Structure 1
């Protein structure tokens, strides 16, 4: 086991890991909230950007690129428009970060007891990351769905508040309404987190030996590289998840009025490929990578520093 892997996996008490994970999620979300809104808007846009004729019957804005989308949101909705859905998103990121790191730590400790049949370090990291990501995703999924729906709102408000949205979805869509697209989310996050942690654990020891890094931290650089590689591989499932999350009786009320009716992961992917081509599955990938890289870098850096700070406090008290 590498020193870097041991650091992330074994140090800190369960309480310290949960607190550090929650802090990491909170800080990360605050930093990338505007890019998250842009990504969601681009992912929900179904018409072709290269064919102006496809725009003529569209009700709602036509977004073209990250900067153009940011300018459009600022012009039409003001600065608050870039933070739509931030309250459920902050709650989600805090809970997700705490669950993710706690499960990751516990799973790696369980896997470490498999001697003499212990798995290779990279496989352990993949299994632990996939398990942590899957459980954290399912546990916080209703907040993820609410984040998407709020971010998809234009100047016309579909939901007036977080509590009102919960009541409305429960009344009109039932319990299952909070888990629309959850299958796509789990199918995406399991390989994503597995690849992310396996790559991160492999790169971190090497990066820690390098000096004068652009981000000033081997943890941050390793987080960026791991995020880009993992995110690209599973992006189509992320797009499918967003399309499924805005299904239901409010589908025609969001900023993009023409979102088709989708049913199921495979049906959605097939319909997107048939109507928009393979490129349609990667709509919003650029801003997703721009968002994911700093988000994961901030998450891992904040987690490591928060955990170190909590350990220093405990040592000072002893």
Structure 2
């Protein structure tokens, strides 16, 4: 298949990835908001951590249920979709770039000139292709990620009422570099995260196909929608657990200097952390290991369905778009 076929494949990958990402982000937004509130809170976020040394004072959020009730009471249902617009503006180019780069890399590494959908690589190349795709997607969509975090973490009263005001505010106070605050830990995180997510997904998918063949389904060993769901769930969960501390560091850099209401606790002051290593060390010293895993529960609860929904939506959307182009 020549250039027209490659272009068609790239467009299908980009479109399917964007749609899958938008669906996943919207469905899991409430869990994402809760996760961000935990991550940017300097005080302990669990009842057992409250017994440890606390340098900051009383905690605003101490558990998922309590945080859910507080956000619902103080901000209503819309509070759970704070920052969803920039999140969609982020995730659509992010996911489309991710899947496009992923498929292009797989096509290149397989030595095939054909724009096939289900190219199988070794587990190692699947990890590498996922990491490269994740880095490319992160750089292309990062400012939207930063604005999303700020809008989702600010609470009430709002520091920035709209996405535009947040963008202008960050640019005026921190300059162009401010729109990329936290990019370093994000890139360090995305390499193992995307690598684990895509590599593990491909591995589980390969195992599932082998299992289907063992059961006598040699005529059609393609995974069912439920099997794809389980593969995506396992891949998303594993990747999130391993990489969560770097996500906490990223969020701290993103909200530096945000003057949110004092009832949300201590603020992350401008210049609080010199670099990624300094941030990890300071969080560990002041908040313990629990500090590096703040928000891990909603993060894992979110990562599982998010990964599953993304992959299943991508597979089905990709097949649907292919069928449209064949007619």
Q: TM-score range by the shorter chain?
A: 0.7 to 0.9
1:113-142 deviation line (CA, Å, top 9, x unaligned): 39xxxx961111111100000110111110
Unpaired segments ≥5 residues, structure 2: 1-5, 113-119, 216-223
Residue of structure 1 aligned with 2:311, choices 300, 305, 316: 300
Partner SS, residue 159 of structure 1:
coil
Matched, 1:279 2:290: yes
Residue of structure 2 aligned with 1:28, choices 9, 24, 27: 24
| Shift in Å, 1:258 | 0.7
Structure 2 Cα separation of the partners of residues 54 and 257 of structure 1: 12
Unpaired segments ≥5 residues, structure 1: 1-9
Aligned residue number for residue 179 of structure 2: 178
Aligned residue number for residue 289 of structure 1: 300
Structure 1 Cα separation of the partners of residues 256 and 292 of structure 2: 18
| Shift in Å, 1:276 | 1.2
1:156-188 deviation line (CA, Å, top 9, x unaligned): 111121112111211221000001110010100
**How well do the aligned residues superpose, as a CA RMSD in angstroms?**
2.4
| Shift in Å, 1:257 | 3.9
Residue of structure 2 aligned with 1:103, choices 91, 97, 101: 101
Question: Are the equivalent residues in 2 in contact too, given 1:251–1:257 (CA < 8 A)?
Answer: no
| Shift in Å, 1:57 | 3.9
Residues 225, 104 of structure 1: alpha-carbon distance in 2 compared, 3 angstrom cutoff: same
Aligned residue number for residue 259 of structure 1: 267
The 5-angstrom pairing of residues 39-188 of structure 1 reads 39-48=35-44, 49=46, 50-51=49-50, 54=54, 57-58=57-58, 62-113=60-111, 121-188=122-189
Matched, 1:13 2:21: no
Residues 83, 55 of structure 1: alpha-carbon distance in 2 compared, 3 angstrom cutoff: farther
| Shift in Å, 1:272 | 0.8
My pick for the range that moved more, 100-109 or 158-167, is: 158-167
Partner SS, residue 46 of structure 1:
coil
TM-score, with structure 2 as normaliser:
0.85
Residues 216, 309 of structure 1: alpha-carbon distance in 2 compared, 3 angstrom cutoff: closer
| Shift in Å, 1:303 | 0.2
Aligned residue number for residue 242 of structure 1: 251
Structure 2 Cα separation of the partners of residues 256 and 187 of structure 1: 29
Question: Are the equivalent residues in 2 in contact too, given 1:154–1:255 (CA < 8 A)?
Answer: no
Structure 2 Cα separation of the partners of residues 293 and 255 of structure 1: 31
Structure 1 Cα separation of the partners of residues 56 and 13 of structure 2: 52
Partner SS, residue 157 of structure 2:
coil
